[in-house]
Amino acid sequence: MTHTSLSSWLSYIESQHPSEIELGLERGSEVLRLLNLSRPNKKVITVAGTNGKGSTCAMLTQYLCSFGHSVGTYTSPHFLHFNERVALNNVPCSDALLCQAFEVIEQVRGETPLTYFEFSTLAALWVFDQSDLDYWVLEVGLGGRLDSVNMIDTDVAVMTSIALDHTDWLGDNLEVIAQEKAGIARKDKLLISGVVNPPASIQTTAADIGALLRQKGKDFNFTLTDQTWCWEAGDVRYENLPMPGLPLQNAATVVAVLVYMGFEPDESALRVLFNTAQLTGRFQKVQDSPDVYIDVAHNPEAAQELVQRIAQLPSAPIAVCGMLKDKDINRVMSCLADQFSAWFCADLSGPRGAKAEALAIAIASQKEGDRSNIHTCHSVADAFDKAIDQAELEKRPVIVFGSFVTVSDYLALNQDKE
């Protein structure tokens, strides 16, 4: 079937499988075999974890590109345009090439049903194959072992963090979730774990697979001083590194990946990387006077990271928050309820979107029922307008957060104004 536009193709692939998520490698692997794709000239790097995957992929891609390597990067989800998911040398792929990829996959798959994410992953791999690249940097969508990204044997597996999320799919305890995510590793290949307080199942799974495990806190570590930080592993040491705009924990993991891959990065290259690396929606400042930040924090671990960021602001911020109802709203609010001077909660559209009232109830439960500074709004746009009015009056920053959907709605709102 031929479609004339990327939007038409995306509507089509959304309709081709009854489930949005169906973990398993059989369907995708069969189509991948028929595609007969090559591998990159150098290595495949696959990144899994509860949080920090996107920032880790971004820093690795930027470093590799800065030294003249050609890199294909596959991430998810996207904010405004599907093309964001498939980047060549940090530039989103064109509509035309993605349409060509979907056309090839549609012809090859025959009667094999594919989910939206399987279609997307195969399209990215086909694009990378056609582009003759040095490295493929692949972000796992959900879990690890059974995620469609794991169709490709990786050369370097990376784990960023482990927390309770997607428990219906991955299990209800950290040991099981860690085991699933460590399933991206391969025999005799590196598995770099930046997980803090790692579950024992990471080491057990690595041993069962035969992977070459390198763990934060055991094989490498980092220490924080006033305004800089230090990374070390054995005789290798980097001092006085600048605080990155992206989470420090992930920056330390990126250094480990580069060191154990044999790049021997010098301190000047790392300083440039950490002074310049950015990623949409990761405590990103998008407006001045009043200051506005956007952050995709949507689970307790990310909420704790956001608390640390808020502590660096000159005054308590105002929240614009929208969340998905299948997230752990109560635990997120237990972290954040007292961090904001006022809350503007927004309804999110779609079957997974939580109502603003549900957020307000969760916040108030942390404040002994006090709802005096908690407001409910029908949309992110409405919540943002009201938050800005108060922020201008009180000279406070605004943080828009809670979901990729929330940040996407904000970005779409501002795109419409341009």
In the β-sheet with 292-295, what is the strand arrangement from edge to edge? Answer: 284-287, 292-295, 398-401, 318-321, 342-346, 374-377
The 10s digit of each residue's pLDDT in 86-103 is 999 999 999 999 999 999
255 found inside a domain: yes
283 vs 254: CA distance, rounded Å: 19
Contact 133, 125 (CB under 8 A): no
Q: What confidence score (pLDDT) does residue 390 get?
A: 98
Bridge partners of 28, per DSSP, are none
CA distances from 22 to 35, 140, 141, 168, 217 (A): 21, 14, 12, 12, 35
Residue 51 lies in a domain: yes
| Pair 93, 83: CB distance under 8 Å | yes
Whether 110 is in a domain gets the answer: yes
Query: Does 403 lie in the same domain as 315?
Result: yes
Strand 221-224: give its sheet, edge to edge.
221-224, 228-233, 236-242
Side chain identity at residue 386, one-letter code:
K
Tokens, residue 248: 């420090």
Q: Number of folded domains in the chain?
A: 2
Structural domain including 14 reads 6-276
Indicate the DSSP class of residue 296. Answer: -
Percentage of the chain surpassing pLDDT 90?
A: 84
Based on the fold, state whether residues 119 and 178 are members of the same structural domain.
yes
Do the domain assignments include residue 317? yes
- What CATH number is attached to the domain comprising 143? 3.40.1190.10
* Mean pLDDT confidence for 379-394: 97
Q: What is the DSSP string of 365-389?
A: HTTTT--TTEEEESSHHHHHHHHHH
- Both 14 and 103 in a single domain? yes
The domain boundary, picked from 233, 259, 276, lies at 276
Model confidence at 42: pLDDT above 80: yes
The answer as to whether 33 is a domain residue is yes
Residue 167: what pLDDT?
A: 47
Q: Please compute the mean of the pLDDT values over residues 72-93 and round it to a whole number.
A: 96
Q: Please indicate, yes or no, whether residues 238 and 309 belong to a single structural domain of this protein.
A: no
Pairwise CA distance, residues 136 & 122, whole Å: 13
The closest alpha carbon to 360, from 348, 369, 350, belongs to 369
Where a domain ends, among 226, 260, 276? 276
Residue finishing a domain among 224, 258, 276: 276
State the Cα–Cα distance between residues 217 and 196, nearest whole angstrom: 8
Name the pLDDT band for 26 (thresholds 50, 70, 90). confident
SS percent in the chain: helix, strand, coil, step 5: 40, 20, 40
The residue among 4 and 167 whose pLDDT is bigger is: 4
Q: Are 116 and 172 found together in one domain?
A: yes
Q: How far is CA 416 from CA 274, 338, 384, 403, 412, in A?
A: 32, 33, 14, 20, 6
Does a structural domain hold residue 1? no
Question: Comparing 24-33, 169-178, 362-371, 394-403, which segment has the lowest mean pLDDT?
Answer: 169-178
Tracing tokens 């479609």 back to the chain, one arrives at 3
Is 201 in the same domain as 349?
no
- Domain-embedded: residue 208: yes
Owner of token pair 């990144």: 47
- Please state, rounded to an integer, the average pLDDT across all residues of the chain: 93
Residue 1, pLDDT score: 57
Residue 360 pLDDT > 70: yes
Residues ≥6 apart with Cβ < 8 Å to 382: 346
Is residue 85 domain-shared with residue 165, that is, in the same domain? yes
Same domain, 270 and 294: no
3-state secondary structure of 48: strand
Q: 108-117, 138-147, 339-348: which range is least confident on average?
A: 138-147
Q: How many angstroms separate the CA atoms of 413 and 357, rounded?
A: 22
Q: State the DSSP string of 187-225.
A: TTSEEEE--SS--HHHHHHHHHHT-EEEEBTTTBEEEE-
CATH code: domain of residue 407: 3.90.190.20
Answer whether residue 81 is part of any domain.
yes
Are residue 299 and residue 226 in the same domain, yes or no? Answer: no
* 341 and 269 in a common domain: no
269 and 288, same structural domain?
no
Q: Is residue 269 domain-shared with residue 312, that is, in the same domain?
A: no
408 phi and psi, to 5 degrees? -60, -45
Inter-residue contact 154 to 186 (CB < 8 Å): yes
Q: What is the pTM of this model?
A: 0.92
154 vs 249: CA distance, rounded Å: 22
**Tokens matching residue 336:** 């954040």
CA distance 256 to 263: 10
Residue 200 pLDDT grade (very low, low, confident, very high; cuts 50, 70, 90): very high
- Tens-digit pLDDT profile for residues 208-252: 999 999 999 999 999 998 889 999 999 999 999 999 989 999 999
**What is the reported pLDDT for 248?**
94
